[in-house]
Amino acid sequence: MKIVVLDGYTLNPGDLSWESIKAFGELTVYDRTPVDDAEEIVKRIGDAEIVFTNKTPLSAEIFTRCPGMKFVGVLATGYNVVDIEAAKKAGVPVCNVPVYGTSSVSQFAIALLLELCHHIGHHDATVKAGKWQNCADFCYWDYPLYELDGKTLGVIGLGKIGVHTAKIAGALGMRVIAYDPYPSDAGRAEAEYVEFDALLAQADAICIHMPLVPFSEGLINKENIAKMKDGVLLVNNSRGQIVVEKDLADALNAGKVGGAALDVVSTEPIRGDNPLLTAKNCIITPHISWAPIESRERIMQTSAQNLKSFLDGSPVNVVNK
């Protein structure tokens, strides 16, 4: 059995092992595959029966030209890179990794929020550049510093990650409110559910943990930003398309939003003309919330289990049943 991984480097840049997948057949791993080159994608898949992808798209054309495919594994939770209907028509189950980074992503969200409050990276850089040794006083700070205890955190999207973020925020002494169209007992244990506009009006800081769905696309726009508190802090490490980037940049530059910390943007890698690159008080990291080795190991393990379940005749985590 031939197995192809089209873009394995992001998941495994060398600190993990492919052995759990290699155990099932002849494995070929490509670090990267050009996402806009259908000819190369078809060539690399060849007559492989098992195909794993992370961000390399599998369009209807790919399924037509690679009839040997019997299984597609997505090395992530999001599966929009695969034409689900085409896969279903071809009789190919598409299996994702639904849960792997709850702790990592929520931890990163709080880290981004704390960075907005303390600007640790900036002050470290200034010390190493000589500013402290040449300072007339025993200390200095270049940004306003904030204490979170007693502040209100609004969590947009109270699924597994949102609940975990709310739990950490509660431990920091924050009041946590949340908006989610599907309330849960787990959510009620960590936060107070409120209407969306009430969250915008009450929150001193907002963390976004909502998937990209029609409701959430472009949700953080100028109209909704206007409903927020002056000086609100915004954290997004869910999906970049939830934020209208020009509107957020304008709000940052005007001081309406006191600071934003983002691990995702609308187009990735980020484009040089993204307005957030030059916006005031904006921290951007390169989509790494999910990337701790523990999270990536879970992806590897679940992907191998997905393949085993398929070969055993009882596929799991199928997104195109």
What residues act catalytically? Answer: 239, 268, 287
Long-range residue pairs from 70-77, CB within 8 A, at least 24 positions apart, any chain: 71/95, 71/307, 71/310, 71/315, 73/303, 73/306, 73/307, 74/319, 75/5, 75/8, 75/11, 75/299, 75/303, 76/290, 76/299
88 phi and psi angles, rounded to 5 deg: -65, -45
Q: How far apart are CA 66 and CA 312, in angstroms?
A: 23
State the Cα–Cα distance between residues 189 and 234, nearest whole angstrom.
Answer: 23
Q: How far is CA 13 from CA 6, 29, 97, 249, in A?
A: 14, 11, 19, 33
Sign of CA dihedral 23, 25, 30, 36: negative
- Please give the full DSSP string across 292-305, using - where no structure is assigned: SHHHHHHHHHHHHH
Q: Provide the 8-state DSSP code for 15.
A: S
Task: Yes or no: say if 264 and 287 are a contact pair by the CB < 8 Å rule.
Answer: yes
Yes or no: say if 105 and 289 are a contact pair by the CB < 8 Å rule: yes
Tokens, residue 19:
């052995």
SS3 assignment, position 141: coil
Structure tokens at 29: 């791993």
Residue 7 to residue 212: CA distance in whole angstroms: 23
